[in-house]
Structure 1
Amino acid sequence: MDGSNTPPTKPKKSRPVRVAEEIKQWVVERDLKKGDKLPNESAMIEEFGVSKGTVREALRILEAQGLIVTKTGPGGGSMVGEVSAERARSLLANYFYFQDLSVADIYQMRRALEPELAASLAGKLSEAQLAELQELAERYPEPAKSSEEEKEQHIASLIFHARLSDFANNRLLGFVIGFMAQILTDLTVYRGLYDPPNVELWRKGRKHQLQLVEALRSCDADRAREIMASHMQVAEDLMRGQEAHLMRRFIGE
């Protein structure tokens, strides 16, 4: 019988990995929170029916993921940690590094989500938050005069969107948008999408961001959504042009 249609088998997980997953499930079932202590090593050996070495390796795996924190000395031991958004984005970035993402892939998501984030924030931001966004939008009043300055302007523009994501009441929406800002920053830098300088991208991007701050300050959700949708479409068109230019230059070389 030809086995070509047989689905590939998943690689078998090592015992420490399996125990690490069991510990996570154990924590969830007991609704433990950040700072709650885990049982001592002897109790965990008994609870999970494995050796001391396996428990220690499982705890190292969880500590590397940021899910537990281990302290030494009196009152020490293992306790529940909290994975930061920065750490979670870093782990996701490691995955997407191998997925060959394009500008179009990222903007498909940005066009769907960022207008809704903008609308949800209209009238909800403090004056300090609005002032921070205003400062980011106004940081570069003149177009770049070099590719290095263009890179700085690209990064500053994406920091504006990352800060918007930080202000989201919907933490999942904010996380995804913040992650997209991060990977687009990485993509721009790694692929040199800032070279040559693009005056139109600077001009239209700056204009949209300033208009957006005003709409947010004016509590105009519909206007904020409209501005962000336009911003995303224009930015995608111009960034895809940068990507195409880079590819032509690469082929020419």
Structure 2
Amino acid sequence: MIEDYGVGRGSLREALRILEVHGLITMKPGRNGGPMVIEVRTRDYGRMSTLFYHLGGVTFSELLEARLVMEATMARLAAERNAPELGEQLAESCEKSVVEDDDLYFAATHDFHRKVSSMSGNPILNLVSMSLEDIFHDQVSGFLFPPDRREDVQATHKAIARAIAKGQAATAERLMRQHMQEYADYVRRRHPSLVDQVVNWR
């Protein structure tokens, strides 16, 4: 690589370090190791974004507001770019009851929002939308609806999935916005000191 790019060893090492920090490569140890390109994940993009959010003084309240706008938009796009078979798969994924187990509940709800976002058909919006969710959950753990609210959440997910499957864009957007607003209100009530805190750089 030094010969191919005509750079010094120090410059190459620094360039590889930057790529590794941003989650674009990993350094494989050992005799046959070296830099290896890896799949770019929304979590890596989110981690990089936290530097800009932190320096800009972005608060968790503003992060929640951005998620509300983005996820409602993603639900609308998913319905507008109507793929009934994907909508049916989304609806089926909401059927299993996981209200009692925190880990299973988180995995199911996380998967639901990722599927809706991926169905939007726009990779840029999908990357930004999912990175906002990753940032929130990476920095704030355990912020789940209590078990007695989770059946309502699953019912809302099913309604959103049905609207997407039927191509009802306005309904899907409205239901997702209401759903995200309820979550934002819950966080503000239960953790009022958090919402004005600045997002940490990770």
Report the secondary structure of 2:121's partner residue. Answer: coil
Structure 1 partner of 2:3: 42
Find 2:95's aligned residue among 138, 141, 147. Answer: 138
Q: What is the aligned partner in structure 2 of residue 162 from structure 1?
A: 114
What is aligned with 1:239?
A: 187
Q: Does 1:112 align with 2:40?
A: no
TM-score w.r.t. the length of structure 2 is: 0.71
Task: Name the SS of the counterpart of 2:191 in structure 1.
Answer: helix
1:44-83 matched pairs, under 5 angstroms: 44-45=5-6, 52-61=8-17, 63-64=19-20, 65=22
2:102 aligned partner? 150
Whole-Å separation in 2 of the counterparts to 1:70 and 1:159: 29
Which residue pairs with 2:200 in the alignment? none
1:187–1:172 distance in 2 versus 1, CA, 3 Å: same
Superposed CA deviations along residues 72-103 of structure 1, whole A, max 9, x for unmatched, are xxxxx999x5761343334445776897853x
TM-score, normalised relative to structure 1: 0.59
2:165 aligned with 1:217? yes
Mark the CA change 1:132 to 1:93 in structure 2 (over 3 Å): closer, same or farther. Answer: farther
Q: 1:114·1:229 contact (CA, 8 Å) conserved in 2?
A: yes
Partner of 1:193: 143
Alpha-carbon displacement from aligned partner over 1:193-241 (angstroms, at most 9, x marks no partner)? 348x3423x1332121111111111111111111111111122222323
- Answer yes or no: is the 8 Å Cα contact 1:67–1:83 preserved in 2: yes
Amino acid paired to 1:125? A
What is the SS of the residue equivalent to 1:152? helix
Contact (CA 8 Å) 2:114, 2:130: kept in 1 or not?
yes
**Structure showing greater relative contact order (alpha-carbon pairs closer than 8 Å, 6 or more residues apart):** 2
- Alpha carbons of 1:43 and 1:113: their partners in 2 closer, same or farther (altered >3 Å)? closer
Amino acid at match of 1:199: D
Relative distance call for 1:135 and 1:55 in structure 2 (3 A) is same
Judging changes above 3 Å, is the alpha-carbon distance between structure 1 residues 206 and 78 closer, same or farther for their aligned structure 2 residues? Answer: closer
**1:56 alignment partner AA:** L
How far did residue 67 of structure 1 move? 5.2
Residue identity over aligned pairs, in percent, reads 19
Of 113, 130, 154, the match for 1:178: 130
1:110 deviates by: 1.8
Q: Which structure has the bigger radius of gyration? A: 1
In the alignment, the residues of structure 2 paired with residue 66 and residue 185 of structure 1 have an alpha-carbon distance, to the nearest angstrom, of: 18
Question: What is the DSSP-based 3-state SS (H/G/I as helix, E as strand, rest coil) of the residue aligned with 1:193?
Answer: coil
- The 10-residue stretch of structure 1 (171-180 or 86-95) with the greater mean CA deviation from structure 2: 86-95
Instruction: Give the Cα separation in 2 of the matches to 1:67 and 1:193.
Output: 29
Q: What is the count of residue pairs matched by the alignment?
A: 186
- Where 1:159 maps in the other structure, the secondary structure is helix
User: In 1, distance between residues paired with 2:109 and 2:24?
Assistant: 32
Select 2:82's aligned residue among 109, 124, 142. 124
- Whole-Å separation in 2 of the counterparts to 1:101 and 1:159: 25
